[in-house]
Structure 1
Amino acid sequence: MKNKYASLILLGVMLLALPGFAQQELTLHLLDNVYQATHTNPAFRTRSNKINVTIFSSAHLSLRNSGFTYNQLAANIKEDETGQRIIDLQDVQDNLNLNGRDYVHASFNADLFALSFPAGKNRFSLNVTEHIQGRLHYDASILELATTGNAPGQTFQFGNYELNAIHFREFGIGWNRPFLEENKLTVGTRLKAVFGLGNIQTQYADVSLTTGTEQELYAITTNANVRANTSGVDMLEDDLEAYLFNLQNVGFGIDIGGTYELNNQISFSASVINLGMISWQEDAKAYTSEGEFTFTGVDNDDLLTEGFDIDIEQLTDSIADVFDLEEEEAQYTTGLPTQMYLTGNYQLARRTTASATLYSDFYRSFRRGFALGIRQNVGRWLQAAATYSVQNRSFNNLGAGLSLTTGPGGIQLYCATDNILALTSIGGARVANMRAGFNFVF
């Protein structure tokens, strides 16, 4: 059992830390001459290249923390009376503006293969894309308990801690086509066969701790009501090859998008990405814990007559029994990390376009972002973009993107980030991401 718990922790750390939920790419969204921009809207059509080929040459890495930055945490590191450096938890609690809905997010995805080509007015694409994403929700209750303790009769709720991490592989078939007079409307979609490799999710995790009255010294009641689902934990431990090529956890997904040119200056685009689900059947487990334990404490009067006598080993064993996880085989279903983009464009000059983008994704609640951007095209070989975005309670995100195409029969190089400042000062950033790679173009 200890090995299984160790594997469970290992998979969670891997899904959160490897190069986690839906990742917005607000700057890439403007580089519509790059095939990878179709990951944000399948209706986008590259103008300079008829055929695009990607082979293990495109990757995106994202890390976000809505509650604090590393520099904010490091500022609360002090020296104690012995000269040892410690974190002042009281200062952390006082200085961080945690709102109970904060989270850490990490994600990595890569195009293992992609092909995009025209056929008449239609444009088709094929892709194989690896996705690793994870999100951990947290709040300040644990800091409050550590720094101020429990007042008599007070209850601490620890129900805002949630983990959702997923590793899946996508096989997609895309299509888009212009419609209406002068091709004002373009509609696109991508159908996906999805295979889940690993997953950890907490369906619910309600844990509480209640102290007794002032007369009941050290009295404490703990309640636990926890259910977590996992898939791929044993496979990761026993057979890495079987884990990486597992095809038993089958799902589906769809991307839908469109663009519309109102006139020569104003256009719009909208998309919904990753509508779908995965059915987890292989190596699928459920872990539950439900129970209550009450330690009656020591009565004040008893201290005078009987002294202080507590069996600590029995106490800790009893508390551990409450949180002992029961394991059972259980198939379950999870949704894909769904995203939405809505963009308005205004053409300032022949090759210069200003834009405003609203972004949203959903995990237990809606999370939103907003970006202002400008895009500059130079011939058919160069496209550059810059953005300012508000996301994850962060207001200092300046993004930049660039694509350079050497010509038909050549290579298209590109990179994009939503926060270029994070590349120079990662410790002060709440948002850090980068998409980079190259495509063969013909």
Structure 2
Amino acid sequence: MKKLLIILITLFGVMSNSYGQNKQILYGFDEIPQTLLLNPGAVTNYKYHVGIPLMSNISANVGITGVTLADVFRNDGVDFTTKYRNALNKLSENDYIQVNSQIEVLNGGYKLNERDYITAGFYTEMDAFATIPKDILSLINEGNASNVNRSFLLSQASVKAEFIGVLHFGISRTLNKKLTVGTRLKIYSGAVNVTSTGNTGSFTTRLGQNNIYSHYLNNINISGNSSGIYDENNESNLSAGTLLGRTFFGGNLGLGVDIGFTYKLNDQTEITASLLDLGFISYSQDVRNGTMIGDFVFSGIEFQYDATNPDYWGDIDNEFRQQVPRAENKESYTVARPIKFNSSIKHSWGKSRREENCHDISYNDYFDNAIGAQIFSVIRPNGPKFALTGFLEKRLFESIKGKVTYTIDDFSYSNLGVGLSAKLGKVNVFGMVDNLFKITDIADANQASFQVGVNLIFK
């Protein structure tokens, strides 16, 4: 049972896949139209673009702090119990799993005039975050007999996961030679949501009279909200067709906005910043919520049949329900989107011959090389998460540009990433991959991501 539980928890981390949406390779990669989704105030240098439907932007990220899959499941001759115990010892109360994936269905943009570039599109996104409840896993693994007087915190359990569709409209405006600003309106359609955050409570075992253990559940206040999982008959309702249908004005609607800017300190140096997903979703369809609030004390557990009290387990359950009452409702609830912040500084050099000789490039100066740094943050249920990235951009050939990044965050201090953008006539193809040092052994990586896309770009 214990082994099954840890497998299920680990599979949840893999299948629900969060990484925190830090797309540090794409951010500021101006040759790629999708950079406007990360900074609506990015500078554009083309007349219009059209994304290839369902192929213009596909990304997936997964991260887990503290341990890796290899720590628990690698076939290295060490028994599972030992590896599980060692993995628990490596964990802290701040470790977590986070996953994000996006599929862009439609995307396009058009340059209205010398100042304004408008964009619109639709994409689906799956985002999940879960803390790793070390105390609960330790209690399951070790039991309470060897942990008398130790309080196991139930508050370590926290989860927030959703699958949504996003319809968006944006505009980027060049105010002058130095400053470009932009904004994007988003209409969210929530297909599925599960949220359980801000829980409290602890479990403690103490030795009572006559060597009888007393068990205390203190300050229990656990709540959970869900939408799209159960229908009105409380039956699972998670078919692929139903979920995809809900992503486009499916009933659980919300609004959000992105803002951003690019400011040129001089011809070669610029700073950028953006705030993304300042918004919320109101869930009202197929809602099922639950709460447990109270305190409970009981002495010992009788595992053998007691002829004097044949309904021993039923009595404990009834007493627990009385002291820690559970309640369910179907009331609508609102969930804030995970707000994201990006900022960067970039210095470019090595003027491109293409700019000097090609008459159709007049919107922006071009350089063959650039170096810079970026900071990223996302708000999660247990606080903000940060990442710091250094990057180098270089034009490899006339139609191919590359970017190399080195990122430090909760997952790794040695995350090397690389991205390429190629222009073949009107076709723009890009690909990006993260954590190159672990690419041959993904099971031993704390984080991995990829991103690919195809667009048509018209100068």
User: TM-score scaled to structure 1, two decimals?
Assistant: 0.85
- Give the drift of 1:87: 4.0
Q: Following the alignment from structure 2 to structure 1, what is the Cα–Cα distance between the partners of residues 88 and 11?
A: 25
- Structure 1 residues 141-166: Cα deviation after superposition (integer angstroms, max 9, x where no partner): 13443337354333222211101001
The answer to whether the 8 A contact 1:418-1:433 is kept is yes
Residue aligning to 1:360: 377
- 1:124 matched to 2:118? The reply is yes
Residue aligning to 1:134: 128
Kindly report which structure 2 residues correspond to 1:272-283, keeping only aligned pairs within 5 A, or say none. Answer: 272-283=275-286
Q: Is 243-252 or 68-77 further displaced after alignment?
A: 68-77
Kindly report which structure 2 residues correspond to 1:12-411, keeping only aligned pairs within 5 A, or say none. Answer: 17-18=15-16, 20=18, 22-47=20-45, 50-57=48-55, 58-74=57-73, 85-94=80-89, 96=90, 98-121=91-114, 122-145=116-139, 146-147=141-142, 149=144, 151-180=147-176, 183-213=177-207, 215=209, 216-223=211-218, 224-235=220-231, 237-238=236-237, 240=239, 241-246=241-246, 247-297=250-300, 313-314=313-314, 317=317, 321=321, 325-350=326-351, 351-364=368-381, 365-378=383-396, 381-408=399-426, 411=427
- Give the drift of 1:71: 2.5
More strand by percentage: 1
Residue aligning to 1:7: none
Which ranges in structure 1 are unaligned for 5 or more consecutive residues? 1-9, 299-308
The answer to whether the 8 A contact 2:279-2:337 is kept is yes
- Give the drift of 1:318: 5.0
- Give the drift of 1:78: 5.7
Q: Is 289-298 or 221-230 further displaced after alignment?
A: 289-298
Q: Following the alignment from structure 2 to structure 1, what is the Cα–Cα distance between the partners of residues 288 and 443?
A: 37
The answer to whether the 8 A contact 2:296-2:324 is kept is no
Q: Following the alignment from structure 1 to structure 2, what is the Cα–Cα distance between the partners of residues 244 and 178?
A: 37
The answer to whether the 8 A contact 1:271-1:340 is kept is yes
The answer to whether the 8 A contact 2:230-2:287 is kept is no
The answer to whether the 8 A contact 2:44-2:117 is kept is no
Q: Is 399-408 or 218-227 further displaced after alignment?
A: 218-227
The answer to whether the 8 A contact 1:254-1:275 is kept is yes
- Give the drift of 1:173: 0.5
Residue aligning to 2:355: none
Q: Is 141-150 or 14-23 further displaced after alignment?
A: 14-23
Q: Is 51-60 or 215-224 further displaced after alignment?
A: 215-224
- Give the drift of 1:316: 6.0
Structure 1 residues 319 and 313: alpha-carbon distance in aligned structure 2, compared to 1, 3 A threshold:
same
- Opposite residue 140 of structure 1, the aligned amino acid is K
The answer to whether the 8 A contact 1:65-1:102 is kept is yes
Aligned counterpart in structure 2 of residue 416 of structure 1, from 432, 436, 440 = 432
Q: Following the alignment from structure 2 to structure 1, what is the Cα–Cα distance between the partners of residues 260 and 207?
A: 60
Structure 1 residues 323 and 102: alpha-carbon distance in aligned structure 2, compared to 1, 3 A threshold:
farther
- Give the drift of 1:400: 0.2
- Give the drift of 1:396: 1.4
- Structure 1 residues 215-246: Cα deviation after superposition (integer angstroms, max 9, x where no partner): 34232122432111111112483474444323
Q: Following the alignment from structure 1 to structure 2, what is the Cα–Cα distance between the partners of residues 77 and 294?
A: 43
The answer to whether the 8 A contact 2:96-2:132 is kept is yes
Q: Following the alignment from structure 1 to structure 2, what is the Cα–Cα distance between the partners of residues 420 and 392?
A: 17
- The count of residues paired between Structure 1 and Structure 2 equals 414
Q: Following the alignment from structure 1 to structure 2, what is the Cα–Cα distance between the partners of residues 327 and 349?
A: 64
Q: Following the alignment from structure 2 to structure 1, what is the Cα–Cα distance between the partners of residues 78 and 446?
A: 26
- Give the drift of 1:324: 7.6
- Structure 1 residues 331-350: Cα deviation after superposition (integer angstroms, max 9, x where no partner): 11111121111100112433
Which ranges in structure 2 are unaligned for 5 or more consecutive residues? 1-7, 302-308, 352-367
Structure 1 residues 167 and 369: alpha-carbon distance in aligned structure 2, compared to 1, 3 A threshold:
same
Structure 1 residues 34 and 369: alpha-carbon distance in aligned structure 2, compared to 1, 3 A threshold:
same
Q: Following the alignment from structure 1 to structure 2, what is the Cα–Cα distance between the partners of residues 76 and 152?
A: 34
The answer to whether the 8 A contact 1:15-1:133 is kept is no
Structure 1 residues 49 and 315: alpha-carbon distance in aligned structure 2, compared to 1, 3 A threshold:
farther
- Give the drift of 1:296: 2.5
Q: Following the alignment from structure 1 to structure 2, what is the Cα–Cα distance between the partners of residues 153 and 332?
A: 38
Structure 1 residues 91 and 287: alpha-carbon distance in aligned structure 2, compared to 1, 3 A threshold:
same
- Give the drift of 1:279: 0.9
The answer to whether the 8 A contact 2:17-2:128 is kept is no
The answer to whether the 8 A contact 1:207-1:225 is kept is yes
The answer to whether the 8 A contact 2:59-2:452 is kept is yes
The answer to whether the 8 A contact 2:118-2:169 is kept is yes
Structure 1 residues 143 and 239: alpha-carbon distance in aligned structure 2, compared to 1, 3 A threshold:
closer
- Give the drift of 1:427: 1.5
User: TM-score scaled to structure 2, two decimals?
Assistant: 0.82
The answer to whether the 8 A contact 1:26-1:418 is kept is no
- Opposite residue 354 of structure 1, the aligned amino acid is I
The answer to whether the 8 A contact 2:294-2:325 is kept is no
Structure 1 residues 272 and 282: alpha-carbon distance in aligned structure 2, compared to 1, 3 A threshold:
same
- 1:428 matched to 2:427? The reply is no
- Give the drift of 1:109: 0.6
- Give the drift of 1:79: 5.3
- Cα RMSD of the aligned pairs, angstroms, is 3.0
